Amino acid sequence: MTSIGFDEQELISRAFQALQRSYSPYSKFRVGAALVSTENEIFGGANVENASYGGAICAERTALVKAVSEGHKRFQALAVVSDLDEPITPCGILLNKKSGRQFIREFFSPETPILLVSQAHPANNASETSYKGPLIKRTNISVLLP
């Protein structure tokens, strides 16, 4: 059964839950992601590092691999979170890689919403912050990987 919408707050909340499971002992840069399938199932993922950096996997790919391995190949949206105030883009802020974005392009239509979320978002239950920027930046893969 295909949905006509998704719960944005639940998706963001699940991304923050995934963030808590990040394994990032080398960079200390935690990332969480959550995506919702057209069947309304949400899959979370966290970044997982190892000493060879190149062998690390980003949070977005973790979530996508979990979903695809469970038979889901069409998605309504993706949320990406980190510990930074400024929202980050998928596999693009520190690793200078585009493999995560290419992975997203494989399974997302060009206009599928991608929500880049600040750690200051209320769903994170974060402490007070002086951050005054946007809590969510909305984009899609056709903008991130033209």
50 is in an annotated binding site: yes
Neighbours of 143 (CB within 10 A): 12
Q: Is there a catalytic annotation at residue 106?
A: no
Q: Is 79 annotated as a binding residue?
A: no
Q: Is 128 annotated as a binding residue?
A: no
Cα gap 42→77, rounded to integer Å: 10
- Dist CA 105 CA 110 (whole Å): 7
> Do residues 22 and 46 lie in contact, with contact meaning Cβ atoms separated by under 8 Å?
yes
Tell me: is residue 53 an annotated ligand-binding position. Answer: yes
Cα separation, 36 vs 106, whole angstroms:
15
User: Which of these is catalytic: 60, 86, 106, 111?
Assistant: 60
Please check if 47 is assigned to a binding site: yes
Binding residues: 47-53, 58, 91
Binding residues for Zn(2+): 58, 91
Give catalytic residue positions.
Answer: 60
Binding residues for substrate: 47-53
